[in-house]
Structure 1
Amino acid sequence: MRNAMSAARQLFSASHTTVDPKEVKKFQLLAHKWWDEQGEYSPLHSMNDIRVPFIRDTLLNLSSDHQLGSPLSGIKILDVGCGGGLLSEPLGRLGASVTGIDPLEDNIRTAEQHKSFDPDLDKRIQYKSCSLEEIAEESTETFDVIVASEVVEHVADLETFISCCYQVLKPEGSLFITTLSKTQLSYVLGIVVAEKIMGIVPDGTHDWEKFITPEELERLLESNGFLVKAVNGMLYNPFSGSWSWIESTSINYALHAMKSKAQEQSSSREPISEAEEEQHPARANTSTTV
């Protein structure tokens, strides 16, 4: 274990950081607005309607040992870039033990304040103002699940980010990512329309150069010891304020990957029957790009 910890410290040294100071500065001004359901983070509130079931159902399909009413009981989740706790709280309500981390202290203060209103959540969720690489230095193979929702398009070094995720996950642990694909369509809808025309999110929130296609992300994950199990297209309707699963991954997508065993080689994703896909659309396995 000492050797592993020493290797982690060398790998995630000051020269390799996942935190982009310019990105932190962007979100500083909005730190107090996380729980305004009609404000700038409105799309993230409504995203919970599909991302929480996606995480829950995928984890339930991986294990038959779960409690009625607390299906994620006993599962340790790391919510990376947790912001004000919009995803940490519903995962905690499902029974998970959640650690939410964010480099911005103001975000953590907002998250701490909001969870204090619910004594049960106060016990299940802990927040830390720190980077992922700091967690990786002290928490080798600690978590069952990592959630990085709307985060990877803001990190400074994506490969270091994925290496850190691998470091802190237990063997066969799950990694869930939601992000924007890097296509012309995502630029038009995600930046021109969403930011500059409709003002769904503040102007300058996203940098298209940091977007990544699911194919590129899958290659990066599998070269760092993960097996990608599912990729699902997502679509936000600004008029209804709701999200839905779609076949195309050319705008937004959700991905589930698992930390592979040492002896495993890269392989194709799990086959899913038509009946299972109808029952659990979040596990649909698509990689269509426009």
Structure 2
Amino acid sequence: MTSKLNADPAELAKFSDLAHRWWDKEGEFKPLHQINPLRLDWIRQTTQLNGKVVLDVGCGGGILADSMAHTGASVTGIDLAAKALRVAQLHALEAQTPTIQYQKISVEALAEQQPESFDVVTCMEMLEHVPDPSSVVHACAALVKPGGWVFFSTLNRSAKSFLFAVLGAEYVLNLLPKGTHEYAKMIRPSELAAYCRSAGLDLRDAKGMEHNPITQRYWLSADTSVNYLIATQKPMDSEK
């Protein structure tokens, strides 16, 4: 059984205090709204979502979860920030989002309850906010069905990332609230790849996400030096 909750109370409080702003597309979470179409399209290019059972780990106010549900997926969003979940539930009611539910539970606890229950698992912009990201990766691997896909996105721990994602985004351009990211918690792609291999996931693709602060444009590229996404797949039992 999971003995210690893999969550930082300060991080939960930080996002709970901003919960009412999740769906303000010009507020603190504007960058998430701007990158969400990129994330969604990349996932859909990799695997079909329509008719699939999907889990969004660290769903927050439900930006990605809601958009996946509108593609025809049956989505469960989980988080430990109760206020953010209430906002997500309210938005789902207002938007009349089909086949979506939210639950306050840790990914490790859910993995114990429902192993190999999901066709697709997403965990976006969450790993850099927990004490033990490897534990989250292993839980995501346990939750996905053999042959299913697990998608992660996070921030690289690099000098360029510190310059652009922390100093630039939070203190110069005010794109994010100050203190959103801690440099020490950022994760190098090689580290995340090692977590995935240890959890039995095969790395299938990796993309970087770039941003032009003048034009406010985001795009995917091969440059993983700041923000990056990876797609992994759980082997079928016969492939192990």
- Band of TM-score, shorter chain: over 0.9
Counterpart among 74, 83, 89 of residue 97 in structure 1: 74
Q: Which residue of 1 aligns with 2:235?
A: 260
**Cα shift readout 1:172-220 (whole Å, capped 9, x = no counterpart):** 2111111111110000111111111111101111011111111211111
Verify the 8 A CA contact 1:49 1:243 in the aligned structure 2: no
Q: Which residue of 2 aligns with 1:14?
A: 3
TM-score normalised to structure 1 length: 0.80
> Structure 2: how far apart are the matches of 1:219 and 1:99?
27
Verify the 8 A CA contact 2:138 2:195 in the aligned structure 1: no
TM-score normalised to structure 2 length: 0.96
**Cα shift readout 1:203-257 (whole Å, capped 9, x = no counterpart):** 1110111111112111111121000000011112223322101221101111100
Matched, 1:225 2:214: no
Q: Which residue of 2 aligns with 1:55?
A: 43
Aligned residues: 240
SS in 1 for 2:218: strand
Q: Which residue of 1 aligns with 2:58?
A: 81
> Structure 1: how far apart are the matches of 2:3 and 2:182?
24
Matched, 1:197 2:172: yes
Verify the 8 A CA contact 1:75 1:96 in the aligned structure 2: yes
RMSD over aligned Cα atoms? 1.3
**Cα shift readout 1:50-96 (whole Å, capped 9, x = no counterpart):** 11100111004xxxxxxxxxxx2220110011111100111011000
The structure carrying a bigger strand percent of its residues is 2
**Cα shift readout 1:136-174 (whole Å, capped 9, x = no counterpart):** 121111011111111111112112111111111111211
Q: Which residue of 2 aligns with 1:250?
A: 225
Larger radius of gyration: 1
Letter in 2 for 1:21: P
> Structure 2: how far apart are the matches of 1:239 and 1:81?
30
Letter in 2 for 1:253: Y
- In structure 2, list runs of 5 or more residues that go unmatched: none
Counterpart among 209, 230, 238 of residue 234 in structure 1: 209
Letter in 1 for 2:178: D
How far 1:262 moved relative to its partner? 4.7
How far 1:263 moved relative to its partner? 5.5
| Residues 108-147 of structure 1 aligned to structure 2 (within 5 Å) | 108-119=85-96, 121=97, 123-147=98-122
Matched, 1:153 2:128: yes
- In structure 1, list runs of 5 or more residues that go unmatched: 1-8, 61-71, 266-290
Q: Which residue of 1 aligns with 2:12?
A: 24
Matched, 1:107 2:107: no
> Structure 1: how far apart are the matches of 2:108 and 2:156?
25
**Cα shift readout 1:100-146 (whole Å, capped 9, x = no counterpart):** 01101100110011110233x1x310011221112112111101111
Verify the 8 A CA contact 1:177 1:256 in the aligned structure 2: yes
Q: Which residue of 1 aligns with 2:145?
A: 170
Q: Identity, % of aligned pairs?
A: 38
